[in-house]
Each structure stands twice: as C-alpha cells, then as structure tokens.
Amino acid sequence: MGDQMKNHRGIVLVFLIPLLLISFLVYVNKPPQPQASSSSSPSKSLKIFSINAHRKLSRTLHISSPSFSSNSSSTYAVIFDAGSSGSRVHVYNFDSNLDLLPVGDELELFEQVKPGLSSYADNVTAAAESLIGLLESAEAAVPEELHSSTPVRVGATAGLRFLSGNTSEEILEAVRDLLKQRSDFKLESDAVAVLDGIQEGSYLWVSINYLLGNLGKEYPSTVGIVDLGGGSVQMAYAISETAYENAPTPSVGEKYVKHTYLNGTDYYLYVHSYLGYGLLAARAGLLNVTGDSGSPCILGGYNGSYVYSGITYNATASSSGSSIDECKKVADKALRISDTCTYLNCTFGGVWNGGGGVGESNLYVGSFFFDKAAQVGFVNSSDHIAKAYPSDFEAAAKIACQTKVKDATSVYPNVIDVPYICLDLVYQYSLLVDGFGLDPSQEITLMKQLKYQDSWVEAVWTLGSAIEAISSSSSTADL
C-alpha cells in the first residue's frame, strides 16, 4: 500500500510541477494594473469654448477630470463677472467628476456690488478697488491651502466694450495688478479680459444645460437661452447637423454656428451677441430715435436726461405722455426691424436667426427679463424660476405706459429708474416678438437661479468658464 501511494505521488508531481511553472511565468509577465485612488474617477471629456478674449473664438477645449492637490478631494474656481450694471463674484467647487460640491452652506458663493467697472472710466484705480470686497469674500470661501491652485478669472462684458480709447485695457490692467498684489489665487496671463459676446452666450448655454442635466443628450433635449444684460443681448440654441451644414456665413464677424463636443455628444450651436441691445444700452438707443423731441416711451410728466457710456440723451416725456403703440414704433426703429435681410429668415438688424427649430422651442430667458418681470409683479420676486409668455411683458407695458411719473413710485415701489418702466417693458416685448420672432403666446422660462441637486445656482455664464478653468488637460482644434 505504501509503495502504491508513492507511485501515485510521483505521477501527480510529474503533472503538477509543469503547471505550477507555467502559472508562475504567466503571473510575472502580466501587465501592471492601474492603482485605484480615492480621488480618481472615470474621465469626463467635455469640449467647450475658450474664454481667451485675445484670440478669435476658433478653438475648443477638451475638458477632463480636474487636477487635485494631494490633500484635497475637490478643486475651486473663482470667476468675476464684470458687467455693465455691476460686478459679481462666483466661487465654485468641483469633485473629480466635474459635479458641483458645496461652498460653505450653499452650492456656490455669489456676491455682487454696484456700479460696474465701466462706471469708473475716469479712475481706473477705483475701478479695480471696487472688487476688493468681492475678492476678500472669495478668499474666505476657499481653503487657504488651496489658494495657490485655485484659478481666478475676470470676464468683463458689454460695459467695458463700449469705453473709448484705451480706457477698458487700463481698467483691466489695474484689476490684474490688484489680483497680483492682494491675492494668492492662480492668475494666468490672459485671465483678465473683455469677454467676447459670443463667448458669453456660449458659456451661458453650457452653464444652463449643465445645471439641467442636458449635456450628453441629443440636441432636441437641450434648451435655448436669451440673456438680456445691460449692454448686450445674447441668443444661443442647438440646431441640427443639416442646418449647420447649410448655415450662411456672415460677410464680417464670427460664424453663426459653432460645432462643439460636450459629454460625448456633438452639438451645433447657433449663437449671436447683439452689442448695443442690452437693456441699458437700448434706453439710449430708443431715446436717440426721438432725439430732442419728447419720447412716447418716458412716463408722462418726467423731464430729465439719461447718460449711457458717457453720452447724454434727452429723456423728456412727450406732451401727451407715454404710449405703448407709439413706443413700439420707436423700439422697432431702434431694433432696425426693417433692415434688409439677405437670408431666408432674420432676427433684427439683418442678422440670420439660426433657422429656428426644436432647439429654440424651449427658451430659458434671463437677467433683466426676470428682474423687470419681478419688479412689476407678474412673477414672484422670491421665486428662482417662473413660466411666462412674451405677452405678459406687453400686458405689463400697457399698464405702465398709462401711468404718470408722479404716481409711478406708489404703483411700482420695487422698480428702479421708474420713469423708464414703459420703455423697458415695451422694449423687452418688442425684442422677443418683433426681434427674435417669438409668438406672443409661446411659453418661456424666466430664470434667476436653477436647481441643482438640492440647491439653487445662479443662471449665468460664469459656470461654463469655471468648468474650463479647472480642466486639467486641453487641446485646440478649429471649429
């Protein structure tokens, strides 16, 4: 029996030893596997527009997972929005999937001051110093050990575009110096610049669709945007690839449609910025139409002047008071509705309208549209978002234009610059209906903030810029 066991063991060893040797060779030649890390995640590849205002908007940026310091699981970005009506700071915090994380008790830090940088055209030092309070708030929101790795950007919008000579660049240089001297944030050489209107519109489209969770979906599932600032108005929405291929090319300026890649999906984004057609600039435009004559857009009994971009305009009411019908005529002239259209369809001023379609059917409309609607009361000022119709602005304008200036303060206790309330509402209605061609009964979404997870986030372009700023790798390509 013992001899038989020895014979069996010998047979087993004859087969077992080669098998063990083969297994060992396979193991030592196995390629190394990547190590898991608590701060790593599947790469998210986004491609959006560059903020670099010193170049034409002709490149895109691949966005992958952000870089993190060894002792942090998140990264911050500080973005200043230097608009014509005021300056604002936004501080965002992202995880490795580019999802937003809280900043303190909220999902972002947002603060603002008035007036805007362009109001300090005669004192560039004071312009820069107007940002100190916002900068200090941002520094307090970002952990001190992350200051040196936190990018900071200042995007100046339409207000600075209007300044003459070198004034805008002198203001920006003063802001650069302020950030270098007073802050440890990471400041790139081109991080303080005048933001091109098309970039602004593109960033906003990305921001809104990011917050709504639309990026990566087919273009009919995205929403379009209209953003009425003080100096300019932007429209952006996604169109089909066929519409992109057949899109006209303007004789001057940027192309109407940008091809971009976001979250695994190709988008063809119609975007146009109308400089000089923001609400504050439009007041000047409408008053310029009537000149020294009384304006049918100014509340009856008002006799004053309006200053915009250093130019003074007569803002005296006509002898018969304000009139919605007469003011509409003035607004259409200021919008250049009757300009020759060399395309199949135009908005105003001879600009191609993008062709319309499903990408435009669901519009999110922001900034002064929401503010004025809240001030006159057809949306609740405490709401962050509201459904409305262009006709709501017309209905509000009918009431406003029948109001005398002596009664206006009691009728509209929340309205700023109350003598212009008829003008503002008429212009907003005319812009939507006569300018952008919306049906008066088309439902639109007025937005101030959008809900993301369980928090409310400002519906502005800065989020798109922040996503780009914290991207860890980039490459360029022609659009």
Instruction: Reply yes or no on whether 200 is catalytic.
Output: yes
Indicate the burial class of 193 (C-beta count within 10 angstroms; 0-12, 13-18, 19 or more).
buried
Residues 6+ apart with CB under 8 A from 48: 60, 61, 63, 202, 203, 206, 260, 262, 464, 467, 468
Q: Is 229 annotated as a binding residue?
A: no
Q: Could you tell me the CA-to-CA distances from 220 to 215, 244, 268, 446 in Å, in that order?
A: 11, 14, 11, 20
Nearest-angstrom CA–CA distance, 115 and 252: 33
60 φ, ψ to 5°? -120, 165
Token pair for residue 235? 């429209």
Q: Is 233 annotated as a binding residue?
A: yes
Long-range contacts of 124-128 (CB under 8 A, 24+ apart): 124/167, 124/170, 124/171, 124/173, 124/174, 125/174, 127/171, 127/174, 127/175, 128/171, 128/174, 128/175, 128/177, 128/178
The answer to whether 465 and 79 have CB atoms below 8 angstroms apart is yes
Q: Is 234 annotated as a binding residue?
A: yes
CB atoms within 10 A of CB 13: 10
**Which of 108, 200, 254, 468 does the annotation list as catalytic?**
200
CA-based nearest residue to 269, from 362, 196, 175, 359: 359
Residue with tokens 């409305």: 388
Going by the annotation, the residues of the binding site for ATP are 230-234
Q: Which residues are catalytic?
A: 200
Going by the annotation, the residues of the binding site are 230-234
